[in-house]
């Protein structure tokens, strides 16, 4: 305590340290709890303000409740949740609180809590309904039950108990709605108890849907045994499409997706229909049946969102490039343009409007659409539109963009709960625990000032990936480009000599792969800045004659120079393999060289194509992730050319393919 800087605080800090260590069981979980270090931070004087003490308490309470199995007081958890309702894993904290609320707690207290935080678990719903029953609020009880029943997560026992306890309120229609919602959300196991409550014919319908989705054989008899009106059920038709597509009965699956057989109501998850359509359309494209592919895409029936954008683009692309129907293409591209907002989608729609107008011989209209697309110079299609206009000087556009500063707005955003936790954890030396709080703060950001507040925090704390994530979202949501902070540069000491052959491409790839997060770890196991798989890294290391690090693959997360050395070497191997073709090399880096080899066989060799044909070639890649990856890295690469060498002369985009 001798190190504490503020007189008068040590007794209180010592008291809170005791709470953290004893009252929350942190001493017993010291080895597991990263927030146990907060006690030492307080004792050293790094945490002194009363607000910081409360933050330390809430962070430790949150962690212990979620991770250590130590007992926690429900009232403390409730107060912490009220202070931080948008913290990471708040949903899990709510479930824990619902379990801990005493079964016979005062009805008014239980009702008050659930009116503030509606139940998210079966246990919580049962306690809320029980409290409403004890309080004599029958109408409210009915409303709560009806609203929660279709989608709330319930165990088999909870489903049976609620269905039996409130059978006078729950109807067959309610059970049908719940079973249907669970099907669309792919929660098949959870649907079994409610299926048992359905009338006999509807129970057979539900069981047939399950058999189809589980790809059982000999399902035709079960389908034919259903009454005719149930054979037209949207959920059943979708399950039949799914079954046929997974059994490679592509034509028969497509028959069920044609307008004359499609149900009027697509159910609770219309985007799932597009996934089936899209797969079948891509299969038809692979067989060069472009008319069938167009028919599948054009009849999509999507109304908004990512599925709508994919469907309208694909329909327009097929009409223009393979069916020679530019007027149809314009209809699709214009609908796309009118219903999307992100620079990537807006520039794509406008660029292809220009291409369609060119094909119709209308150069004036084409020029106007290219100018519209060119308003987004940090995007793949915005850059190609600039080249069409003959004005591809990205540096002049990007380097002079500045985000207006509203200090009051930024300060308001930094005062929110996740931002305060971020700043606190960095100050306490716990930067490695900040990622979940950053993700939540990023999700809550809305204005340019919000995103700039995150970028300022990233610069202040050395968390470069904060800058990149925030800059990408700022561009997507507000069409605002952050040039320097959004396109960071690697440290000089991280760049071995062998990594300097194409620095713009290396930077561009890292920005897409890891957002410059040194310790990035993908669900598939890729590690570090250049997201290397340990096996690939090991093979490359041996080829270079580099000794194996003592920490093994973990060195990819802790030694950026090592990661970049291996990653840039592997990238160069792919470039050499494909004669310098960045498109093929990036496809191989993302999806494996075997796929790039196959796409050359199936789609042609982009090294022997014109620039416009290469653009087509990229759009024909059957894997969305790879199509998007190549376009994002290439657009980053062009920006980095001017970021690294501002005096770079005009470079044709085709030379970078």
Residue 513 falls in the annotated catalytic set = yes
| Per-residue exposure over 507-529, b if at least 16 CB sit within 10 Å of its own CB, e if not | bbbbbbbbbbbbbbeeeeebbbb
User: 223 near 240, Cβ under 8 Å?
Assistant: yes
**Cα–Cα distance for residue pair 94/81, rounded to 1 Å:** 8
How far apart are the two ends of the chain, measured CA to CA in Å?
Answer: 63
Task: Name the phi and psi angles at 361, rounded to 5.
Answer: 85, 15
Please compute, for residue 57, the number of CA atoms within 13 A of its CA located in the half-sphere on the CB side: 24
Helix (H, G, I), strand (E, B) or coil at 544: helix
Q: Is 405 exposed, middle or buried (0-12, 13-18, 19+ CB in 10 A)?
A: exposed
The angle, 0 to 180 degrees and rounded to 10, between the axes of the packed helices 593-603 and 611-620 is 120
Which residue is catalytic, options 276, 387, 513, 517?
513
CA distance 211 to 243: 9
CA 179 distance to own-chain centroid? 27
Q: What distance lies between CA 480 and its chain's CA centroid?
A: 21
Contact 474/448 with Cβ under 8 angstroms?
Answer: yes
Q: Rg of the chain over CA atoms, in angstroms? A: 29
Q: How many CB atoms lie within 10 A of CB 114?
A: 20
How far is Cα 471 from Cα 473, in angstroms, rounded to an integer?
Answer: 5
Q: Three-class SS string for 405-421?
A: CCHHHHHHHHCCHHHHH
Catalytic (active-site) positions: 513
């Amino acid at each position: 305590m001798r190190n504490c800087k503020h007189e008068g605080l040590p007794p209180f800090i010592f008291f809170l340290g005791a709470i953290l260590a004893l009252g929350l069981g942190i001493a017993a979980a010291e080895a597991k709890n990263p927030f146990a270090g907060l006690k030492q931070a307080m004792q050293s004087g790094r945490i002194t303000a009363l607000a910081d003490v409360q933050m330390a308490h809430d962070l430790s309470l949150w962690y212990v409740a979620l991770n250590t199995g130590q007992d926690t007081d429900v009232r403390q958890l409730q107060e912490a949740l009220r202070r931080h309702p948008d913290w990471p894993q708040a949903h899990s904290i709510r479930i824990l609180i619902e379990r801990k609320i005493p079964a016979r707690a005062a009805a008014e207290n239980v009702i008050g809590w659930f009116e503030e935080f509606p139940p998210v678990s079966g246990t919580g719903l049962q306690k809320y309904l029980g409290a409403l029953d004890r309080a004599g609020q029958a109408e409210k009880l009915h409303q709560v039950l009806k609203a929660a029943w279709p989608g709330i997560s319930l165990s088999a026992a909870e489903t049976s108990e609620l269905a039996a306890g409130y059978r006078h309120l729950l109807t067959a229609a309610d059970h049908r709605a719940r079973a249907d919602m669970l099907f669309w959300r792919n929660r098949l196991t959870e649907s079994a108890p409610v299926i048992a409550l359905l009338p006999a014919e509807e129970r057979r319908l539900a069981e047939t849907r399950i058999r189809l989705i589980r790809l059982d054989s000999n399902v035709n008899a079960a389908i034919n045994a259903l009454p005719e009106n149930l054979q037209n059920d949207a959920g059943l038709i979708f399950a039949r499409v799914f079954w046929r597509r997974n059994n490679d009965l592509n034509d028969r699956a497509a028959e069920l997706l044609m307008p004359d057989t499609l149900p009027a109501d697509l159910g609770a998850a219309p985007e799932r229909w597009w996934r089936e359509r899209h797969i079948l359309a891509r299969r038809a494209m692979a067989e060069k049946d472009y008319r069938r592919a167009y028919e599948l895409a054009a009849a999509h029936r999507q109304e908004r969102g990512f599925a709508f954008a994919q469907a309208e683009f694909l329909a327009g692309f097929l009409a223009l490039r393979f069916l020679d129907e530019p007027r149809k293409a314009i209809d699709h591209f214009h609908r796309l343009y009118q219903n999307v907002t992100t620079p990537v989608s807006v520039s794509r729609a406008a660029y292809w409007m220009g291409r369609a107008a060119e094909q119709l011989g209308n150069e004036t209209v084409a020029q106007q659409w290219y100018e519209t697309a060119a308003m987004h110079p940090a995007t793949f299609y915005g850059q190609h539109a600039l080249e069409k206009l003959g004005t591809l000087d990205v540096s002049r556009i990007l380097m002079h963009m500045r985000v207006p500063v509203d200090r009051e707005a930024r300060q308001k955003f930094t005062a929110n709960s996740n931002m305060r936790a971020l700043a606190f954890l960095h100050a306490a030396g716990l930067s490695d625990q900040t990622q979940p709080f950053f993700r939540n703060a990023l999700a809550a950001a809305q204005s340019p000032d919000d995103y700039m507040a995150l970028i300022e925090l990233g610069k202040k704390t050395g968390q470069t990936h904060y800058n990149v994530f925030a800059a990408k979202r700022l561009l997507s949501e507000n069409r605002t480009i952050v040039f320097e902070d959004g396109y960071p540069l690697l440290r000089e000491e991280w760049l071995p000599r062998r990594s300097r052959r194409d620095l713009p491409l290396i930077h561009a790839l890292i920005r897409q792969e890891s957002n410059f997060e040194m310790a990035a770890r993908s669900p598939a196991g890729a590690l570090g800045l250049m997201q290397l798989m340990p096996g690939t890294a090991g093979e490359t290391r041996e080829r270079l004659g580099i000794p194996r690090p003592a920490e093994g693959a973990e060195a990819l997360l802790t030694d950026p120079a090592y990661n970049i050395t291996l990653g840039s070497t592997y990238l160069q191997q792919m470039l050499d393999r494909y004669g310098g073709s960045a498109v093929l090399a990036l496809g191989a880096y993302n999806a494996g060289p075997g796929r790039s080899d196959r796409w050359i066989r199936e789609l042609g060799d982009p090294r022997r194509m014109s620039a416009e044909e290469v653009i087509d070639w990229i759009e024909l890649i059957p894997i969305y992730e790879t199509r998007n990856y190549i376009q994002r890295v290439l657009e980053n690469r062009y920006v980095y050319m001017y970021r690294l060498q501002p005096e770079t002369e005009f470079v044709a985009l085709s030379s970078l393919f």
